[in-house]
Amino acid sequence: MVQRVRGVVARSQGSPVELTTVLVPDPGPGEAVVAVRACGVCHTDLHYREGEISDGFPFLLGHEAAGVVESVGADVTTVAPGDHVVLNWRAVCGDCRACRRGRPQYCFATRNATRAMTLEDGTPLSPALGIGASPTGRSWPRASAPR
């Protein structure tokens, strides 16, 4: 069931950001939805708003977040509803050569959610750094969870 949350959205380059309703779909395979308890919108988000990182507007800002897993999709085995988590913009696979050598910063197969969050009119949102957490919403828009 789609959830409605509030998120900080940059609709176009240089325009003021707005707090608006975001629709979050249920998690797909390998994904989780997290109820956000804390989230930051930082200087990197400003670079997204200014169009300096990408021009994939509109952006859902906020990529530094923590919360509690609310639901998981198929094939998710390392987190479960009720687990406390910190969200990482670089969701490492845990299984490639770099990860197995203890060097996840060089992961060859990082993951991001596959289904887009949207505005109420159906406009797909680009999540900043693959996360796009909702700093004021009940649920965090989807992210890949380790399997």
**How would DSSP label each residue in 6-68?**
EEEEE-STTPPPEEEEEEEPPP-TTEEEEEEEEEE--HHHHHHHTTSS----SEE---EEEEE
> What average pLDDT is seen over the chain?
84
pLDDT of residue 15: 92
Whether the link from the prior residue into 25 is cis, omega within 30° of 0, is: no
CATH class in words for 3-144: alpha beta
Q: What is the largest CA-CA distance in the chain?
A: 45
The share of the chain scoring above pLDDT 70, in percent, equals 89
The predicted model gives 59-81 an average pLDDT of 89
- pTM (two decimals): 0.80
Residue 136 has pLDDT above 80, yes or no: no
Model confidence at 141, in pLDDT bands (50, 70, 90)?
very low
- Domain residue spans of the chain: 3-144
